[in-house]
Amino acid sequence: MYTRHLYFVFLLFCSSYSQYSIGTEGIIKDYKIQGISGELEGNVELYIKQLVDEKNSKALKRHAKSQVEMSLKALGYYKPTIKISFDNAEQLLIVNVERGPVTRVADIKVTITGSGKDDAEFMSVVNSIKIKQGDFLNHGKYEAARKRIESQLLELGYFDAKWHEHKLAVSLKNNNARVIFNVDTGPRYQFGDITIGSETPAEKYIRSLAEFKQGQPYKATEISDYNLALSSTPYFASVRVYADIAKRKNNQVPINVDVLHKPANSFEVGGGYSTDLGPKVRFKWTKPWITEDGHYLESNLNVSERQQDISLGYTVPVDDPNDDLWRFSLGYKLEDELTNDLYSRIFTGQLQRQWLTDDDWVRTAFLRRDYETYRIGDEEQSAKMLMPGISYAKKDTEGGTTPYKGYQWMMSAEFGLKDMMSSTNILRLQLQNAWLTTFADRHMLFLRANLGAMLVDNINEVPLSLRFYAGGDQSVRGFAYESISPEDEKGRLIGGKYLMSGTVEYNYQFAEHWRAALFVDSGTATNDFTDRVEVGAGFGFRYLTPVGPVRIDHAWGLTKESKSTRLSITIGPEI
């Protein structure tokens, strides 16, 4: 009896071991692709890697072979020899491929009828199709070309377009294929009337901000630009602009605008950090609709460790509440301990007239009145300045808050005269430029320059806020904020007449949200160009967030006697 029990336990053990072995030895733990490389191997791998952890079986091998055939056909190989095997010992799925002859494009025939055939903008897309006679057949390129044509038809308002034919005609016998696109574009629709979804006091501006006119040829980018322009005004919490394609008639498509107004008082609270100014808190109050003509009031409060400022602005739109306006503002700014023993307190009032030039520069003419009290060491001084001036600014970027391409220009000129309620005679000029480009997908180059000059009799009579300084996160990294400057006899940094600084920075995106950076900065603030040009260099990382990159840099002041390093942290885009 006892012997029979032992025999039964032994059988159970063997059965369990056998089940365990059979249950695991057929599981695919890895794979190997043989006989092909490069793009072909990569395309096959997209399918095969999905089979990891699946159980090996005849059905799985048949499915794998079918998927490999499809992946090879996509790149023009219609006659491959495929062998699928499984190594039980290594739990390895082995895919052996003899790719066979490649299928080439023998002919590409594109037939366009309808008014699109005479549309240069549409035909430029058709003519740029990246499929040529003699190319290896590539299904991806074919699909991309078809979708590009369809996208451009919608982009340009060919809402009645119809495909007569689009296909790949493959000849297995001749190892070639014909690419056929035959589309009737129909008529190109025009912009129709703008319909506003609900009654609004902003109707004047809603209509004036549209760059297109009724009867002009439709273009979708005009709609997106219009949506952006409305969203940029201070009036609306949400904006939706769309072409009502279902109601198109008489060769025109109506444009619908739905807006939701901001409340009578809106508030924003934000914050940030930089090593220049330390932690920063921002508060903004907007009263977006004071009069029926769209006048609005805006107040800003910014508080950081070294700077505090508050401003109140009243804006009167002319035609465009974004770029064509009058503005009157009052403000107060306090800067303390920016450099050694420096202090500045400014009360200011300013009248501005802002409008766009024909080539989209933002031009601002202004008249500013400053009352400034400043201290260098123990010596306190005061100045009153009446400064007329003009500035030009232009910015164009791609990529939103994390731009990958673009540029920015800022130029200004202002002056003050003793005979016109100013403490000193001065002409102050400044030019700033930034340029950003991305190449080969992951590589970015950023260049920046800042030039400034003052014509003045005596730098000591110029208010501290108008003098030039260099150094810091946005200037020469590796040096403290505004620490590059001429010095007085006691070694205090007193600011200069001239400014020049520049940056060369390279970024490499090594992960979805991460970039690595190498950079060199140089610059000086000087009175006579005898001061040496300071140089900082280092490396850093950028973490890409919805509000812009968080930039962390470690820089060496190469021309400093101590060669000390400095950590720099800023939040926001390069431009």
Structural domains of the chain sorted by starting position, each given as residue range(s) with its CATH number in brackets? 23-98 (3.10.20.310), 104-184 (3.10.20.310), 190-261 (3.10.20.310), 319-324+337-571 (2.40.160.50)
Q: Give the mean model confidence (pLDDT) for residues 135-141.
A: 93
Question: Is residue 312 within a helix (H) or strand (E), and if so which, with residue range?
Answer: strand 307-317
Distance separating alpha carbons of residues 76 and 78, to the nearest angstrom: 6
Residue-level pLDDT at 18: 36
Residue range 117-125: mean pLDDT, rounded: 93
Q: What is the pLDDT of residue 25?
A: 52
What residues contact residue 213 under an 8 Å CB cut-off, 6+ apart? 191
Judge whether residue 9 has pLDDT over 80: no
Cβ distance 48 to 66 under 8 Å?
no
Cα–Cα dist 95/466, whole Å? 72
Coil, strand, or helix at residue 147? helix
**Which of 6-20, 107-121, 294-308, 450-464 bottoms out in mean pLDDT, i.e. has the lowest?**
6-20
List the one residue out of 312, 313, 319, 269 whose CA is nearest residue 294: 319
Task: Mention every residue, 6+ apart, whose C-beta is less than 8 A from residue 238.
Answer: 259, 260
Query: Residue 39: enclosing H or E segment and its boundaries?
Result: helix 38-48
Beta bridge partners of 433: 409, 449
Q: 406-454 pLDDT, tens per residue?
A: 999 999 999 999 999 999 999 999 999 999 999 988 999 999 999 999 9
Q: Check residue 294 and give left, alpha or beta (phi > 0: left; psi -120 to 50: alpha).
A: left
Neighbours of 94 (CB within 10 A): 15
First and final C-alpha spacing in the chain = 89
| Sheet architecture: strand order including 104-113 | 104-113, 176-184, 162-171
**Of residues 575, 573, 566, the one with CA closest to residue 521:** 566
Quick: pLDDT tens for 361-417: 999 999 999 999 998 878 889 999 999 999 999 999 988 889 999 999 999 999 999
- The per-residue pLDDT of the chain, averaged, comes to 90
Q: Which residues touch 413 (CB under 8 Å, ≥6 apart)?
A: 389, 390, 391, 427, 428, 429
Element (H, E) at 427: strand 426-439
Tell me, what's the pLDDT at 445?
98
CA distance 569 to 542: 10
Of residues 79, 88, 75, the one with CA closest to residue 47: 75
Q: Is the pTM of this model over 0.85?
A: no
Residue 16 has pLDDT above 50, yes or no: no
Mean pLDDT within 62-77: 92
pLDDT (mean) for 53-78? 91
